[in-house]
Amino acid sequence: MSHPLKAAILIISTSVAQGVSKDSSEDILRSVFEGEEEAGRWTVSDVKVVSDDILEIQRQIREWTDHEASGINLIVTTGGTGFATADQTPEAISPLIHKHAPGLVHAMLATSLSVTPFAMMSRPVAGVRNKSVIITIPGSPKGAKENLQAVIKTVPHACIQVAGADSRSLHAGGVKRLEKDAGIISLGHSSHDNSTAHHRGHKHEAHAHEHAHGHGHGHGHGHGHGSLVRHTKQGENPMSNDPSLGPTRRHRASPYPMLDVEEALALVSKHTPAPTVITSKVDNELVGAVLAEDVTASENVPAFRASIVDGYAVVVPKDGNMRGVFPVTAVSHAAAGEVGELKEGEVARITTGAPLPPGATSVIMVEDTVLKTMTEDGREEKEIEILADGVREGENIREVGSDTKDGSIILQKGEQVSSVGGEIGLLAAVGTATVKTYKRPVVGVLSTGDEIVNHDRPGHLRLGEVRDTNRPTLITAARGWGYEVIDLGIASDKPGTLEETLRNGMRQADLLITTGGVSMGELDLLKPTIERALGGTIHFGRVNMKPGKPTTFATVPVKNNDGERVSKVIFSLPGNPASALVTFHLFVLPSLQAMSGVSPVGLTKIPVSLLHEFKLDPGRPEYHRALVSVGSDGSLWATSTGGQRSSRVGSLKGANALLCMPKGVEPLQKGTKVEALLMSNVRLVL
Ligand SMILES: *[C@@H]1O[C@H](CO)[C@@H](O)[C@H](O)[C@H]1NC(C)=O
Ligand SMILES: *[C@@H]1O[C@H](CO)[C@@H](O)[C@H](O)[C@H]1NC(C)=O
């Protein structure tokens, strides 16, 4: 094949045609055509975008097929093959086809079906018009790639025949030659029917699919986490899959032992790096920080003797009898200033908080006095009469350092600066500008999976696409607990991409949270990437809990900027939104808190009563999302926040607690006491 075959790509998407969304299939399809494996067999000679409109689609196809000069050998359309009302691609293409090619359709469907049952929701057509082969593939980037890869090795043969080469000369070398020409590594079989199968075995990495991700789970197709049946014991091999080995060499079961939540938490505590000490400014950024030193006051509060009332500063005689008429010799306002020495028999008018004149020993409240005479202009007091006796020294005076003594400890190491304001207030009162605190870890959050699209991407989802729920959810949760968060975006399922994203994340963050890619599917690239590419250690990969069984905790040794070896923490949470948020609170939060010097770590545990009957999971302890409210008598009651399926992000709306439910067969009755882990404030309702 000296001349490359000419391919044309037709992107069928109204939103792309209108510029509302960006097309991502072109690059992916080009990479298949122009990739190394095809070794120059193809050239992509035209790419067009049209709306989901039958006439528009047909006009473009005809332009390619009905003019000899175009010389297009293969037309690949992407998009519009689903069941949505707008999907019209098969209806547009079918009438144009001169010879139908059900074999190509079969090959594409078989490939996709081996990955996900949702493939049956695709309606591809394929065939020949004039001298061009036409295939229709799905619009989702992953599905498109997979479908094209399913046929690209064999389709050149058809293209050459369609273009008019005589079939006898083509077949001269037999099927073996055809396979060789097509670049298919023959495994010794010579039948055509077997070639597709070889192809699939050898190109397994193309079968990228969302079923590796919890994101796709639980939408009613029966493989939620609750009802798995297992008949054999798990293997001993502690290492993750080597993604290059192919499906036949994969672990059939997770090689990680199933740990109880307590065992898993013990490992988190053991392998979370110790907190490091930094100097922090005393300002509102300090809220949430834990002090790494005792803080001593460097000055007295108050710094001077101050009056606590409006009245008159006096020098109390020995007998304490202050009755009589006194000249007002001075005025002391709260504003700082100089006041002369006060002598016995004189009084100085003073306002609340103002410094006492030197020599004054007490303050008489204005209520205990009567105005006697005024100055001539009538504007100032000249003399007042005091009606008090039994006055003692120090009355109505705040002594120097009576609130806080210079040198005393005002806050202790390990205390956390609250958002209530008391600690900041105390630090501010004594003029503390900086304190030593534990550095709070920076959190990096990423999602993995080619099927994940940004939550705010406009337009309808294509088959298989899933909006990224976890990243915004987890970023919010981590920020809500006071941690700085870096959004690391969505990493694709290619092994190199994930490694690069993780390395980049570890340069910026101390703890990474990834979601997706934690089940046993082919695309569980995370564990192999951590172990094989990053040299990290997986401390656990399965936890006996619901939801959240595939929760994974790993550490990766890296050198920091000073060349010291430090450890970065990676949590890989299940892709299901509810599982991700539950395991964040259960495992990630304690790790973040430990790194920040918070003690004790974890959510606050309180006993509550069930307000209604609760079903239990027969296999695993469950963390049930619930609303805990306080009754007028102070009793705490829990109600479920609804369907607890792990994909249901709605089960966390309005939840302020996770109820620790044991596994069991019989439901727990209304009124039963259970422990609740508080995620936020208890509300007063009922
Ligand atoms: C392609 O097929 C159409 C419909 O059968 C026909 O009208 C047209 O002439 C053909 N064009 C070529 C170049 O064969
Ligand atoms: C596929 O190859 C096997 C092994 O050579 C052979 O026994 C079988 O008949 C082939 N299948 C078909 C459908 O030709």
Enter the DSSP assignment of 268: H
Atom 9, ligand 1: which residue's CA is nearest? 66
- Rounded to the nearest angstrom, the distance between the alpha carbon of 190 and the centre of ligand 2 is 8
Report the distance separating Cα 225 and Cα 663, nearest Å. Answer: 14
Are the C-beta atoms of residues 108 and 147 closer than 8 Å to each other? yes
pLDDT at 229: 44
Which amino acid belongs to residue 344?
E
CA distance 638 to 133: 63
Ligand 1: which atom is nearest the Cα of residue 66?
A: 11
- Given a cut of 60, is residue 675 above it in pLDDT? yes
Least confident of 126-130, 378-382, 570-574: 378-382
β-pairing verdict for 673-678 and 485-491: unpaired
Phi, psi for residue 428 in degrees, rounded to 5: -65, -40
Residue % of the chain over a pLDDT of 90:
52
pLDDT at 214: 34
pLDDT band (50, 70, 90) for residue 253:
low
Distance from Cα 64 to the centre of ligand 1, integer Å: 11
* Cα 576 to the center of its chain, rounded Å: 12
| 3-class SS of residue 102 | helix
- Write out the two tokens for 477: 């949760």
CB 487 within 8 A of CB 474: no
- pLDDT for the residue numbered 180: 58
pLDDT at 485: 97
Q: Is 186 in the pocket of ligand 2 (CB under 6 A)?
A: no
**Which two three-digit tokens encode residue 254?**
């997770």
Residue 244 has pLDDT above 90, yes or no: no
More confident residue, 235 or 603: 603
Q: Tell me which residue has its CA closest to atom 1 in ligand 2.
A: 194
Confidence band, pLDDT 50/70/90 cuts, at residue 164: confident
Of 181, 176, 140, nearest in space to 159 by CA:
181
Grade residue 668 by pLDDT with cuts at 50, 70 and 90. Answer: very high
Q: Is 27 in the pocket of ligand 2 (CB under 6 A)?
A: no
- pLDDT level of residue 204 (50, 70, 90 thresholds): very low
**Considering just the CA atoms, what is the radius of gyration of the chain in Å?**
38
pLDDT surpassing 80 at residue 329:
yes
Structure tokens given for 175: 């099927």
Residues 6 or more apart in contact with residue 617 via CB below 8 angstroms: 226, 546, 661, 663, 664
- What number of CA atoms fall less than 13 Å from residue 67's CA on the CB side? 8
* pLDDT band of 467, cuts 50, 70, 90: confident
Cα separation of 41 and 34, whole Å? 8
Tell if the pTM clears 0.75, that is, is over it.
no
- Tell me the C-alpha to C-alpha distance, in Å, between residue 219 and each of 83, 224, 583: 18, 8, 20
Judge whether residue 28 has pLDDT over 60.
Answer: yes
Kindly state if the Cβ of 66 falls inside 6 Å of ligand 1: yes
Q: What is the pLDDT of residues 622-655, one digit of tens each?
A: 999 999 999 888 899 999 987 766 666 666 778 9
State how far the Cα of 596 lies from the Cα of 483, in Å rounded to an integer: 10
Residue 198 pLDDT exceeds 50: no
Q: Which atom of ligand 1 is nearest to the CA of 98?
A: 5
Give the ligand with the smallest distance to the CA of 72: 1
The residue among 525 and 275 whose pLDDT is bigger is: 275
